[in-house]
Structure 1
Amino acid sequence: MDKREIRDAATVIVLRDRSTAPKILMGQRGAGAAFMPSKFVFPGGAVDAVDETVPFGRPLRQPCADRLAENSDRSPHGLAAAAIREFWEETGQQIGVPGKWPDAPRGWRGFAASGHWPDAAPLQFVFRAITPPGPPRRFDARFFLVEADALTTNPDDFSRAEEELSYLHWVPLSEARALDLPFITEVVLAEIAAGLNRDGPPEQVPFFHHEDERHLITRLAGRSPLDGV
């Protein structure tokens, strides 16, 4: 595997009404998209260099930061910042804390103009996956779970969203796997459903990747490989 051909990426899974009728926020990629056309996905995208430099109103919590650093050339800070930025761009929804940020860099000025700093504290690192060989683009994606209560914006208002994702809506978790989903998204949804009663981050984070034409799941902060997935 040539890692130079794989871009680091970050994705946000927002969970709403966990204890009553759990729902997650999803959108649909365009039919002409180069990567996963027409598929329903979680908001997210590639890490930009500027994401490594932005300040947080509150930092990423442990053990998430340590697990993000495991077997990774990308800093936990940059991954968390990219997740917040991409989520903001694709949905118009914000994970932040109030504060003035007059010198925000390009790519973050719209976020700063709302009067907020990015807030990494609510992010829980729950899954990592490298997309399989074959598609024209490949990503090493980190998935972060966030409770909807952490949003500083109206969770039903998508008027500020960019156009990369259409049909942004809250999907009942029990119905999400009936949508047209990438395989990895189906696996992540199963992990989210299994952890609904968990308080806090998972004990180990699944890492889906490839070796010798096999699909593998290993565990970050663990030692239990599962072959043939």
Structure 2
Amino acid sequence: MTTIDKTQIRNASTVIVLRDRMTTPRILMGQRGANAAFMPNKFVFPGGAVDAGDHTIPLASTLLSPNDTRLAEDGEPHLGPALAAAAIRELFEETGQILGQQGNWPDAPPDWAQFASTGHRPHAAPLQFVFRALTPPGRPRRFDARFFLIDAQDIASDLDDFGSASDELSHLQWIALDDVRGFDMPFITEVVLAEIAARVTDPAPPASVPYFKNNDEESLFLRLRGHPMTD
């Protein structure tokens, strides 16, 4: 008998912040708690699930091509802005770092009130879509995660100040790419880091985006190139 995995799959965004890419590249990571339901004790990038409110957030800047069309490929065609909003929100909540443009936002929803109080609006243009992975069946939680790379120079806040971060991630730190293998990370994080390391000095979008599609029938490795949605 075939076992059907009924775990809800949630869309999610993950943010890889790359610092000093041309000299001594480092990435921002933190450790999940021991009691976390998903990947306890692991060092991960900041990120999390898309919330319902993320679909209506007014972005100060939009995702740039080809990121927008690649996000739409093999997925919901209009999900890109919500994924971008979730990435910016989760980065701020978990690290206190601000990916924003200066501007007043007097009618910000409650989840964004603290972000808006810094005098910024969410800035999606620096987000570069570099990886996608669907959590395999059988896990307690499943996510269709899109990984975004940003350069630390696009951050509007003090890169070494994590005072506004929530307690979801501990031991927040900038880890040298040469040293990151010594940390306890999920397998998929190691795979993503290998992709980043291979093109760390090239700021252009990748030729295509890797997609590990672990659905209930089979596991596939695809490449997302951003075919027009009208194809």
Q: TM-score range by the shorter chain?
A: over 0.9
Which one of the candidate residues 48, 53, 72 is aligned to 1:50? 53
Tell me how far apart the structure 1 counterparts of residues 170 and 95 of structure 2 sit (CA, whole Å): 9
Give the aligned residue type for 1:79. Answer: L
SS of corresponding position for 2:114: helix
Q: Say if 2:137 and 2:216, in contact at 8 Å, map to a contact too.
A: no
Q: CA shift at 1:70, angstroms?
A: 0.9
Letter in 1 for 2:145: A
Is contact 1:29-1:164 (8 Å) kept? yes
1:67 maps onto 2:56 in alignment: no
Displacement of 1:199 after TM fit? 2.9
Which residue of the partner structure matches residue 16 of structure 2? 13
Deviation at 1:81, TM superposition (A): 0.5
1 or 2 for the larger relative contact order (CA 8 Å, sep ≥6)? 2
Q: Which residue of 2 aligns with 1:161?
A: 165
Ranges in structure 1 where 5+ consecutive residues have no aligned partner = 224-229
- The equivalent position to 1:177 in structure 2, one of 181, 194, 200, is 181
For structure 2, the 5+ residue unaligned runs are none
Q: Please provide the CA RMSD for this pair.
A: 1.7
Does the residue aligned with 1:107 lie in a helix, a strand or coil?
helix
Q: Following the alignment from structure 1 to structure 2, what is the Cα–Cα distance between the partners of residues 189 and 129?
A: 13
Structure 1 CA distance for aligned equivalents of residues 166 and 215 of structure 2: 36
The separation in 1 between residues aligned to 2:166 and 2:55, in whole angstroms, is: 23
- % identity of equivalent residues: 61
Q: Choose the corresponding residue for 1:91, options 95, 98, 105.
A: 95
List 4+ stretches of structure 1 deviating above 3 A.
1-4, 211-215
Q: Distance in 2 between matches of 1:215 and 1:16?
A: 33
Q: What is the rounded CA distance, in whole Å, between the counterparts of 1:49 and 1:97 in structure 2?
A: 23
The equivalent of 1:26 in structure 2 is 29
d(CA) in 2 for partners of 1:106, 1:8: 21
Q: How many residues align?
A: 223
Using the TM superposition, give the Cα deviation of residue 196 of structure 1 relative to its aligned residue in structure 2, in angstroms.
Answer: 1.2
Distance 1:199 1:160 in 2: 29
SS at match of 2:15: strand
Q: Distance in 1 between matches of 2:6 and 2:79?
A: 16
Please report the TM-score for the alignment, with normalisation by the length of structure 1: 0.93
Corresponding residue for residue 227 of structure 1: none
Contact 1:177 1:189 in 2 (8 A): no
The TM-score, its normalising length taken from structure 2, stands at: 0.92
